[in-house]
Chains A and B, each alone.
Chain A
Amino acid sequence: MPKTIARTALAAAILTMTGVPSMPADAKQPTYSRTYAEDRAEIEDLMARYLFAIDYFDWDSYVETFAPDGELEFASGTSKGRDAIRAAVTSFSSRIGQFYHTEDGKPAKLRHVVLQSSIRVEGNRGWGRTLWVEMANHGPKDTMKMGTYGIYEDEFVKLDGHWFIAKRRVLNEFLKGRESGPTNPVRDMDALAEASKK
């Protein structure tokens, strides 16, 4: 058993015996604002539009999901501003066909999927941690194959009533050096959201 785990277990056991409330302050659930559901619904829509834009090569729509000074960090590097983001993703997209293709060499139909998201909203700022997976028709005999998964670590900003991506980090558990963790990514998101209130 790793030392840290043993220590935590011991600490938990001691707290139980002494009757001190065992819940660490930092493991509490967030307090959500009255408009959380509304903001979350719009942010979820933004994340869906982002993926449709990528998978259908609609780079105008894609860059518009970012704030004008938005930032994208993915395997190819970091780009700031819509023009730089467009240049980075179109270049990446033209190369991806080498890895994702059908048996006769045509570009595969790559589809990204978003699964659960934890989202924090404080005023006009938001943060997200979202699990993603991708699939394409590049399996044997052009069958469906799920290739990789990872998470998005996002910052959102509301400008003139619309939510945009202020910063997106795309992490992929199958790319060396781009893996998420090992700590719970929600912890660092909570720290950012709490710090913004001060």
Chain B
Amino acid sequence: MSYAADRAEIEDLMARYLFAMDYHDADAYAGCFTEDGELDWAMGVAKGREAIRAEALSFKAKIGEIFKDSEGRPAKLRHAVCQKAIRIEGDRAWNTGFWWEMTNGGPDGSMMTPSFGIYEDELVREGGHWLFRRRKIYNEFLAGRESGPANPVRAMDAAA
């Protein structure tokens, strides 16, 4: 496999992950991780695909508490990924990616952009499919979850 081929599949995985997350599809979300995968996010660390699935099932309620539209209904939260620095070595890969999010939680149902941060990922190819072994989500607007101050790509390159 060439770098471009692996990268294309990993980019597709990242998109599928976000569609699963934003449309509350816990099975598809958990399916982006390996059986022993780990999700480290603002509300805790989930280890193993089952724990991640359980966590994903709670996203809708948790997110609905935090993000509301102007009438108090759960807002439509959408995550976006922008640039991704991806390293690939055989069946292992690492990603440092920038994300931000948007909702319809502004005045009179207008758009809002509540926060941004980065993903630090370890991926593996199992049975021909790239999956997350570990995803750590940093958020620059949550105390204790900020990334940096050092360039996160340096740590990724060292790991690779």
Contact B18 A184 (CB under 8 A): no
Residue of B nearest to A116 (CB): B15
Interface residues on chain B, size class: 35 or more
Contact A22 B131 (CB under 8 A): no
The docked-state distance in angstroms from the alpha carbon of A139 to that of B78 is: 22
Which segment, of B6-14, B88-96, B133-141, B143-151, faces chain A? B6-14
CB contacts under 8 Å to B, within A101-132, are: 115-119, 129, 131
Instruction: Write 7 A-B pairs (CB below 8 A) sorted by A numbering.
Output: A5-B26, A32-B12, A36-B9, A118-B19, A119-B12, A179-B76, A181-B23
Nearest chain B CB to A189's CB is how many angstroms away?
Answer: 9
Question: Would A36 and B54 be within 8 Å (CB), given that A22-B49, A118-B12, A186-B20 are in contact?
Answer: no
Contact A27 B81 (CB under 8 A): no
Interface residues on chain A, size class: 35 or more
The docked-state distance in angstroms from the alpha carbon of A9 to that of B52 is: 12
State the B residues within 8 Å of A (CB): 2, 4-5, 7-9, 11-16, 18-20, 23-28, 30-32, 49-50, 53-54, 57, 60-61, 76, 78, 80-82, 102, 104, 109, 111, 113, 128-131
Contact B102 A146 (CB under 8 A): yes
- Specify which chain A residues have a CB less than 8 angstroms from the CB of B15 in the assembled complex: 116-119, 129, 186
Residue of A nearest to B19 (CB): A186
Contact A149 B78 (CB under 8 A): yes
Nearest chain A CB to B42's CB is how many angstroms away?
Answer: 20
A173 CB-CB contact with B under 8 Å: yes
- Specify which chain B residues have a CB less than 8 angstroms from the CB of A149 in the assembled complex: 78, 102, 111
Question: Would A9 and B57 be within 8 Å (CB), given that A118-B16, A174-B111 are in contact?
Answer: yes
Question: Would A184 and B19 be within 8 Å (CB), given that A12-B53, A133-B80 are in contact?
Answer: yes
A143 CB-CB contact with B under 8 Å: no
- Specify which chain A residues have a CB less than 8 angstroms from the CB of B11 in the assembled complex: 40, 116
Question: Would A173 and B4 be within 8 Å (CB), given that A146-B113, A184-B25, A185-B19 are in contact?
Answer: no
A187 CB-CB contact with B under 8 Å: yes
Contact B18 A41 (CB under 8 A): no
- Determine which of B12, B50, B78, B131 lies in contact with A16 in the assembled complex, contact meaning CB atoms within 8 Å: B50
Other A-B pairs beyond A27-B27, A184-B24, A185-B23, 5, CB < 8 Å: A5-B57, A37-B8, A117-B15, A131-B80, A186-B19
